[in-house]
Amino acid sequence: MYQVPNYTQTVSIRLSEVLADIGVDERMILKTRRTWLLKESLHNINYQLLDKDSTLKYIFGSQSEGTTTLEMESDIDQLVNIKTFTVIQDWNDWTPGVHNLLMIEDNSVSPGYCLLQCPVNDVPLSADGDSDQFFFQDRTGKLFVKNSLVYMFYNDSEIHGPAGTYQGQPGYKDLDKVFALHCTKWPQQARQWLDQEDEGQWPSAEMKQYCSRTGCFVVCVGCRGSKHEQIEWRISTSLAERCLMFDLDITQIRCYVLMKMILKTYITPFLKDVISSYMCKTVVSHCIANTHSNIWRKDNLLFCLTQCLYLLYTNIINENCPHFIIPGNNLMRGKISPAVKPYILEILNNIINSEGVALLRIKCDALGSRLHLKFYNLCAFKESDIISATLLLNFALTKSEILAETDDFLKDSSPNEAVEKLKNYISKALYCQYEGLDKTASLLLLPWYCTTLGSVLASRNICQYNTVSADALKLISLGLNTDVASSKLKLASIFYCVQEIEKADLVLGEIESRYDLQIVASVCGCHHQFRRKIVKQRFGQLCNNYSEEVLQYITASCVRFLPCEIHCVPTELRYEFFRSTQEDRLFRTKEDNKWMDYAVVDSLPYLYFLQYKVYSHLGRYDQKQATLLKLISTIKEEPNLGHRETALNILGKCMEQEGRAGDALYCYSMSLNVRRRNNAAKIHICILLSVLINART
């Protein structure tokens, strides 16, 4: 058996400890994978329920693999499968109801790529000029699909190769979105890998067979420099590769993470887009496949890393990094110019020969500093709480954004239409027999649908009879515990609107007792300007100890009222439905259109506003004044409000009720400082000035 020197063992153990401290350990990786895969399920289940299931979303890459860290700033790699097309390998596999494209893999096509032949009588686009733009007919009359076909699905993005890159707003990661077509069968070019019999080596024969059942995708990019570049499609085995990454042990994952840190520190700042993290993943995969499993140990991490770096060094010398599953596809083809090649080789050679010293200069996640402290047996801060909090807050934001998509489907509906749509969503969610994470996702969405349906019914009841039916209240109750406050605030708002003040008071008291200001985090997925500035310590601890189920106890989403819920909204907040003039609408973004036609307010300010109104009705002067001070303090001091301008508007209405017109005008002007356009503060100012002028005359 191979024996490592004591120095290598010591460095390896300390390095493993440092990586564990920054979240690269078994528990955190499993937590990360579950969170991202559950987000994937949420998207797809919601699309099914909304009858938007012509696409299927996958999240690949570092995020869903758990092979990234807080400061590595890895992009989100999203693949969108366009289900209106299917790729087949034989005309006998024809699938009715979709556009069938025949995968052509022959010697005329670059390795790792294919052509897609389309039946002449099944051209999906019929407008004049579309055939020239999206199709190519050869001399024999065969019709092939150009890879530009998928570009029609990109919008508001900068295209890099097959991916549309959506630049992340503050608090959001960049998104690389790839539209792809699925083939249920394994590509012929990968059969060699599948049929290789390496006894005792990774991956096992069983794992290979499992991978083959995932099929493959084709994405819209041809091989650079190929004579068929416009009509070639790259074969992607992303699902199989994700399965393989999930099969790695912790030392192998740590080796890959270190490779990416070295790339980020020593190569990418000077030579961007020459060596990619995907090449590093491929190198690590080849190393694992060609070494015995007993090499990959915690006390041997430095040796394993050196072997991977040496293989990368060899690949650069040969200018050939073979794809792990389709070896004929050279990932380095055309990537390394003669001018930069010696420079990269020198960098790698210095790192390899440094015997780990080069790791001390890695600033990403303070890896070098942490490693230095470990050698002196000094403890460094563990990142597990912050990572867990970031993960679950990101998940909560995703859920909020997905529910906003549901609201968008209901936005222009009458109350009766909204009721029928929501009943349909709920019945479909109950009818479908989901399993695993899909079942968890459906159970997370269903209560929100029930509460929204109950609120729409309540609004209709109030409009017609100024009361609320038992059916509406029962439906609302099914979703009361989706988070700490938002659904309960809808219930309290309904009670207030029908003048059942004592019931509203009881609900608000329960919310306040559960809303621990030292723990609960506000969540708003309405727009990208929402940025999380502070993660509360106890919030992070709870996130670290529990999974997504804890979010119902420690998060409070913003409260969203659709136009069909208008009668559940106090008069002071109804102005938010009419925040936009025709001119203002011209300045809206795509994200703005998802919420600006609603009345939306953060949970904590709305809690204090409703309490202020309730205490006013009940004649509790001292409690009313104390609550007003809480509302003021929240707006001034809470950094994580998504709708601060709305909070200032309702505070202004409270000031008007107090007879403090000057303070009300100040609140409205501060609101306009937050959001100059599409702001109901303009309406409030006009009304208040009119009242003041009329009072003087």
- Convert the pLDDT of each residue in 424-451 to its tens digit: 999 988 888 788 999 999 999 999 999 9
- Convert the pLDDT of each residue in 192-223 to its tens digit: 898 887 666 899 989 999 999 999 999 998 88
- Convert the pLDDT of each residue in 347-373 to its tens digit: 999 999 999 999 999 999 999 999 999
pLDDT surpasses 60 at 10: yes
- Convert the pLDDT of each residue in 536-581 to its tens digit: 889 999 999 999 999 999 999 999 999 999 999 999 999 999 999 9
Residue 3's pLDDT band (boundaries 50, 70, 90)? Answer: very low
Residue 309's pLDDT band (boundaries 50, 70, 90)? Answer: very high
Contacts of 384 (CB under 8 A, 6+ apart): 23, 28, 544
Mean pLDDT along residues 241-267: 96
pLDDT surpasses 50 at 167: no
Residue 335 buriedness (CB in 10 A; 0-12 / 13-18 / 19+): middle
- What span, in angstroms and rounded, lies between the C-alpha atoms of 671 and 531? 18
- Convert the pLDDT of each residue in 581-592 to its tens digit: 999 999 998 888
Parallel, antiparallel or unpaired: strands 555-557 and 521-523:
parallel
pLDDT of residue 164: 45
- Convert the pLDDT of each residue in 69-85 to its tens digit: 999 988 888 999 998 89
pLDDT of residue 669: 97
- The DSSP symbol for 223 reads P
Rounded CA Rg of the chain: 29
- The DSSP symbol for 322 reads B
Q: Which of 2-6, 260-264, 556-560 has the lowest mean pLDDT?
A: 2-6
pLDDT of residue 297: 95
- Convert the pLDDT of each residue in 467-510 to its tens digit: 999 999 999 999 999 999 999 999 999 999 999 999 999 999 99
Mean pLDDT along residues 115-124: 78
- What span, in angstroms and rounded, lies between the C-alpha atoms of 300 and 11? 9
What's the length of the chain? 697
Give the domains, in start order, of the chain with CATH numbers. 1-24+248-382 (1.10.1410.40), 73-246 (no CATH), 384-566 (no CATH), 570-697 (1.25.40)
Residue 158's pLDDT band (boundaries 50, 70, 90)? Answer: very low
pLDDT of residue 177: 86
pLDDT surpasses 90 at 408: no
pLDDT surpasses 60 at 532: no
3-state secondary structure 481-522: CCCCCHHHHHHHHHHHHCCCHHHHHHHHHHHHHHCCCCCCEE
Mean pLDDT along residues 411-417: 91
Within 10 angstroms of residue 583's Cβ, the number of other Cβ atoms is: 9
**Which residue type is seen at 549?**
E
pLDDT of residue 125: 53
- Convert the pLDDT of each residue in 25-50 to its tens digit: 999 999 999 999 999 999 999 888 88
pLDDT surpasses 90 at 697: no
pLDDT of residue 4: 52
pLDDT of residue 170: 39
Parallel, antiparallel or unpaired: strands 232-236 and 521-523:
unpaired
Mean pLDDT along residues 610-630: 97
In DSSP terms, 235 is beta-bridged to 218
pLDDT of residue 225: 79
Mean pLDDT along residues 400-412: 87
- Convert the pLDDT of each residue in 602-618 to its tens digit: 999 999 999 999 999 99
pLDDT of residue 169: 44
Answer with the residue of higher pLDDT: 4 or 231. 231
pLDDT of residue 168: 46
Do 247 and 207 meet the contact criterion of CB atoms below 8 Å apart? yes
Mean pLDDT of the residues in the chain: 89
Structure tokens at 123: 């051209």
Mean pLDDT along residues 126-139: 66
Mean pLDDT along residues 91-115: 90
Answer with the residue of higher pLDDT: 198 or 405. 405
